[in-house]
Chains A and B, each alone.
Chain A
């Protein structure tokens, strides 16, 4: 009777020379790392906000940052809210007339159609959520610097950024009249001048 052929996906310890020194140490390191990482991954099934006991330990956070293993799978988070989301720069002259510019740097480009996902999520998170006030302010300051640096704003003119947020209406209401969204326009003013900068210069 022929000997059973080992299945290719089974362990074949006889095919390996017995490990010594460095091999044993390497396997220990693998075991420790893999066990820690596996436990960390499994704990990630429960989202951070829902964990009964948060793990605020700095070491754990540093490990997540260094290994890129932070688990936050919030895909589709904002989808139910928006039918569309756009923004534009509005410049108002001293006599009240307005003109518009594309809001995307460099070069005050217009939004692309259809909007690439990354552009859409970045701008929506920048201006409609509370994700990053620091980045929002920095972005507005960049726009201000660029407008003034390129001479696109004359003395006495003012500018602001408008977000055009088209909220999807309730399905029942859409079914009644076919109108898909309600538009809300939000206004973001340029940040105040940094300390020490004279207003006349702006």
Chain B
């Protein structure tokens, strides 16, 4: 589950983001505690805390003193926005590079994408 090479705290933050985007953690609902994340992913609690704090800094999560950590209102929309900006770098560019390597021209690529869109 944890991927080598990428900082673990970023992966924890991304995992929580994914759960918010997918709707499996609703806005204004409580997320697990740092220690629960640490136990679940079998990582150092300080690392889990760093991942959670990153989301607090980004305004995705907020703390209720003495109770725990909650998903902020509007968090999902903001995460989706941010992910869309990264979509080009992370998916489109590698896709085009690989297509070029295989001799797939842009028209063919567009067609493949629309065919996939129909069947998916």
Q: Do A and B bind each other?
A: no
